[in-house]
Amino acid sequence: MTSSSSTSSSTPGLARFNALAEHAAAAALHEACASAAWGRGLLAGRPYATVEDLFAASDAVMAGLTAEDLAEAMAGHPPIGRPEPGDPTSAREQRGMAGASDELRAEMLELNLAYQDRFGHVFLICATGRTGEQMRDAVRERIGNPPEREREIVRTELGKINRIRLARLVEEDAPA
């Protein structure tokens, strides 16, 4: 079997997540995604037999989030290139901007502001593994989208981010 077999079986990290008291699990899920509806949906599905089951539940709940739920989720994300001080998760995910030139940083700030003016929320992209230039190109491309199309792209990107964060949450050596 491929290396993905580790994500399709039960792990000690998943067992630990399943065993958390509800308030602790809710707090851990809120760290992954600021949408209360998403967190409640995942809590309702516990215990999960496999990490893939957890991912599938996340995807299903994400697909059903309202515009208000998505707005709540997006409010938990800092603008690209400006992670909150003391937020190691966003800093890690936005690593591609770490070595960006002052020119690229200024351009991203300008594009982030224009995007926020157009759509009313931060530009959201699964930044993990992307360079600053790739993120800039994505915001340039997406800023012209109709709002309905952009909301569905945001939903997809948020789903990718949530999967990455859930995977970290259920890693074998993750703290309880």
Residues in CB range of 136: below 8 A, 6 or more apart: 104, 107, 108, 111
CB 20 within 8 A of CB 49: no
pLDDT band with cut points at 50, 70 and 90 for residue 92: low
How sure is the predictor about 2, in pLDDT bands with cuts at 50, 70 and 90? very low
- Cβ partners under 8 Å of residue 135, min gap 6: 80, 81, 96, 97, 108, 125, 127
Q: Where are the domains of the chain?
A: 3-169
* Spatial contact of 73 and 33, defined as CB atoms under 8 Å apart: yes
Summarize pLDDT for 59-84 with one digit per residue, the tens: 999 999 999 999 999 988 877 766 56
pLDDT digits (tens, 9 = 90+) for 34-64: 999 999 999 999 999 999 999 999 999 999 9
Q: What is the CATH number of domain 3-169?
A: 1.10.3330.10
Q: Which amino acid is at 34?
A: A
